Structure 1
Amino acid sequence: MFSTLWSTSDPTAQNFFPVSSRYADSELLGPLEPKDTEWTCAGGFSVETQIFYCFTENWSSVMVQLIYSSVGLWPTTQLVVKFYDPDTKETIWKSMNVSNFSPGGDRRSSKSDQFTVTHKSTPGAEFEESYSVLGRFDNGLQISLDIKRPAAVPGFKIGKGPKGGFSYFGPNVEKPEGYVVHRFWPRLQSSGVIIKDGQANSFAGPGMFVHAIQGMRPNLVASSWNFSHFQSEEHGGVSAIQMELTTTDAYGKKGEGSGKVVVNVGSLVVGGKLAAVTAETRWPGEPVVDKPSVSSRAVHHDKSLDSFTGYNVPSSLSYHWAGPSVIPGAEGGLSADLSVDVGKPGQEIGLIEKVDVMAEIPGFVKAVVSYVAGAKPYIYQWLNPATLKITGPDALVPGLSGGLEVKGHLYNEATFIS
């Protein structure tokens, strides 16, 4: 935004170029290359993260996140572990600044004084890639996590090649003011142990992985985010994920003041195979087509003011996916819908936490974000049973063409920044 203030280019020129608009419907699937999940450790106000989202046998939620941030005077790295049991309401959440962080020789592994992350590739095997995470906190909390990606569920980004996955900010795509990029493993198998106060708790279940970079100040990238992560063990393994951002008012099709562009990317795994990749852009002021052949949407319903955070929040959310099958021999389109009731403020359903982002980030970064944004970001996190209604080619799952209702669990987030 700041460079556009001094730019001699047309102030009404497009200054946001979403990845969801750059590729044809048949070219959305961009297979991940080894370089895509390497740590870049870039400077210039960037935030890079790897997040492992996992479910356990009783559908508790486990999240392990590494965050490398160069927003402050010097880079900082955080290790975050969060566990939530919906039956007992037990929550374990620890965040720690680590010391002496460095990527491994393959730049896909990493280590610090407090953790190690080891990546391995085994081409041709049933599980082609894996990560092993070992973390130790200074209060006696330890975590060991192993995740492995099935060969039938390749990692993906939107679009092939080195620019696949990238949305660019600024009027010049070749010299952008900033960028955001996501790379996904949409379904994986996890197992691990959390040790707290000498008590070991083992877990195993499905999950997903994302490697993301925000190549500019986080408060300039988006005014809000939506994230959904659905997993089910039915029909050989089903997952449905979405990542959606809404830009600030500064970035849009007609320059400053034309923002609030919605960018959504997602995928469907059906029958234990990556079946469809979805993406959609919604430009403000332009008509929204009712369920086109390729679609990826998150919608908030029945919003009301939460006096605790000051934001208008939904009492229910719905998600929609649609796109062509990427499985050879199973040609045709897929469509899926999911709705979840999360309750009104004070009567929440499945709420894990309302995360005060400013309380969880380093002090200097907090000062920068607060000064520039004048906002108080919050992340709403929910975990609920859910049913995915899905249709598609019978070659994927018998009876799919007539529609199936897949029972599973949904971990979802809504982030409000400004």
Structure 2
Amino acid sequence: MFKWIQGGISAVTGMAEPEYGASHLHSATARLTESKINPYSKASPEKKDFDFQNPQNTNVETATFYLNDLDTGYCGFAQIIHSNIGITTSAQFTFKLYNNKIEGFKQIWTSTKLENFSIQENGKDFKADNLDLQWTDDNCLKLQSEVNPESLVTLIFKPLTDGVKFGKDPHTYYGPSIEESWGSMRHVYMPRCSVEGSITNLKTGLVVDLTAGRTFGLYVMALQNMKPHHAAKEWKFVWFVNEKESLALMQFQTPRSYANGIVSTAIITDEDKVICCPVENETILIDEYKDEETGWSFAKEIDYKLKGHLIKEEDEEEAKVDADAAVEFELKGPLTTVIERVDVMNEVPQFVKNIVSGVAATKPFIYQYYTEDLTLTRSDKKDAEIKGTAWVEVTYIVDEREQQQQ
């Protein structure tokens, strides 16, 4: 979700849009459910699914490496942010590391501007001074960054399952039609990877050698090809993982301009298989309580209900579902630890803050949680209760309650 932070001017300028209505939202998930086609297509670097799209108009594109070491408790993410704000292109490396098992551990958070950056000729690799992201010949991802002495990072992500994109075209489009769109959103995933590598903080002397075979990762490439507060008013994200299973959910809700439409995608894996990709999901925050400083809310629990069909068979391009194998998953439990409440406006320059004062009710905050107490259940296996740890984010961008009062 940190692509919002480094969006620069594109993230905060522009007045509220007219109310175009649901007819101007063409979501990847609606195309799947309406046409009854397969829930996902296999994504791979050979097919250029993981290339940087790099459109010439205003956009923010991110490559995010989520990681979780089940033995040591270290979890977090590394992220490359590539932004085009119309007048210039910039790039940033952000990194966060958290540990719930070490008493008194203070999270590592760095955000560093990249110099002399470029997308490489093959479209998928990325280089900058002291940073290198590349796909290896055996389709592993290798990230090495020495741009900040507090977060020296070497990560190797080896995919354990197929890559995933929802439908043949994973874009959600905004505008009168797909052909006449004026903006879009795109996500492509490597939903379960094994992770090797190390993290070093030269300031504190911390060295983390990730546990081979017990550290898992999620890789997400995302493109936000329009102003973020026009594309979505809020986001929900969860990445749940244990030794055998994982679940990733990415959901956003559009502003009133696009009828508060919801685009929700989830990927559930078991061992080395993607078993279900639900797109009809209900995400409930339980026992919310008001954050008096922001006007938004914290939550004490989540109850996420996902509906889909089990994957029946796969070929080289896409997966086929079993029409008779409808299944419901439920991810439920307490959000035991608030990692951080991120004030996005603290992360952008002062002149951008001055501009945002003219954008009604735009006040972005990211609420990050970590929990070891979630349980995943499924309707086709009544006795199965799957335990795991999870990184949970709830992002608020536009407060439409305020807009209505103004």
Task: Give the C-alpha shift of residue 375 in structure 1.
Answer: 2.0
In structure 1, C-alpha distance between the alignment counterparts of 2:167 and 2:155, rounded to whole Å: 30
Residues 157 and 371 (structure 1), Cα distance of their counterparts in 2 relative to 1, 3 Å cut: farther
The question of whether the paired residues in 2 share the 8 Å contact of 1:71 and 1:365 is answered with no
Task: Give the C-alpha shift of residue 49 in structure 1.
Answer: 0.4
Task: Give the C-alpha shift of residue 276 in structure 1.
Answer: 0.8
In structure 1, C-alpha distance between the alignment counterparts of 2:357 and 2:128, rounded to whole Å: 29
Give the 5 Å matches for 1:42-191. Answer: 42-56=55-69, 57-71=71-85, 73-88=87-102, 89-122=105-138, 129-150=139-160, 153-160=161-168, 164-191=169-196
Aligned match of 2:273: 273
Residues 3 and 228 (structure 1), Cα distance of their counterparts in 2 relative to 1, 3 Å cut: closer
Give the 5 Å matches for 1:154-303. Answer: 154-160=162-168, 164-197=169-202, 198-204=205-211, 205-233=215-243, 237-251=244-258, 259-279=259-279, 295-303=280-288
TM-score by length of 1: 0.81
Residues 143 and 86 (structure 1), Cα distance of their counterparts in 2 relative to 1, 3 Å cut: same
Aligned match of 2:11: none
In structure 2, C-alpha distance between the alignment counterparts of 1:240 and 1:189, rounded to whole Å: 15
Residues 49 and 175 (structure 1), Cα distance of their counterparts in 2 relative to 1, 3 Å cut: same
The question of whether the paired residues in 1 share the 8 Å contact of 2:114 and 2:147 is answered with no
Residues 208 and 366 (structure 1), Cα distance of their counterparts in 2 relative to 1, 3 Å cut: farther
Residues 97 and 371 (structure 1), Cα distance of their counterparts in 2 relative to 1, 3 Å cut: farther
Task: Give the C-alpha shift of residue 374 in structure 1.
Answer: 4.4
Show CA shifts across 1:243-263 (max 9, x none). 000101111xxxxxxx21111
The question of whether the paired residues in 1 share the 8 Å contact of 2:192 and 2:216 is answered with yes
Confirm or deny that 1:30 pairs with 2:41. Answer: yes
Structure 2: 5+ residue runs without aligned partners? Answer: 1-13, 315-320, 399-406
Q: Which has the higher contact order (CA 8 A, sep 6+)?
A: 2
Task: Give the C-alpha shift of residue 177 in structure 1.
Answer: 1.4
Structure 1: 5+ residue runs without aligned partners? Answer: 123-128, 252-258, 280-294, 343-348, 393-399
Task: Give the C-alpha shift of residue 20 in structure 1.
Answer: 1.2
Show CA shifts across 1:277-299 (max 9, x none). 111xxxxxxxxxxxxxxx32311
SS of the equivalent of 1:325 reads: strand
In structure 2, C-alpha distance between the alignment counterparts of 1:271 and 1:140, rounded to whole Å: 34
In structure 1, C-alpha distance between the alignment counterparts of 2:75 and 2:31, rounded to whole Å: 34
Show CA shifts across 1:54-102 (max 9, x none). 0012332120001111126311111011100112233001001111111
Aligned match of 2:23: 14
The question of whether the paired residues in 2 share the 8 Å contact of 1:222 and 1:248 is answered with yes
SS of the equivalent of 2:345 reads: helix
TM-score by length of 2: 0.83
In structure 2, C-alpha distance between the alignment counterparts of 1:193 and 1:350, rounded to whole Å: 25
SS of the equivalent of 1:189 reads: strand
Aligned match of 2:362: 375
Task: Give the C-alpha shift of residue 308 in structure 1.
Answer: 2.5
Which range moved further: 112-121 or 217-226?
A: 112-121
Task: Give the C-alpha shift of residue 301 in structure 1.
Answer: 2.0
Show CA shifts across 1:105-163 (max 9, x none). 221111001310111243xxxxxx2111111134453111111102xx11111102xxx
SS of the equivalent of 1:358 reads: helix
Task: Say what the alpha-carbon RMSD is for the aligned residues.
Answer: 2.4
In structure 2, C-alpha distance between the alignment counterparts of 1:359 and 1:113, rounded to whole Å: 26
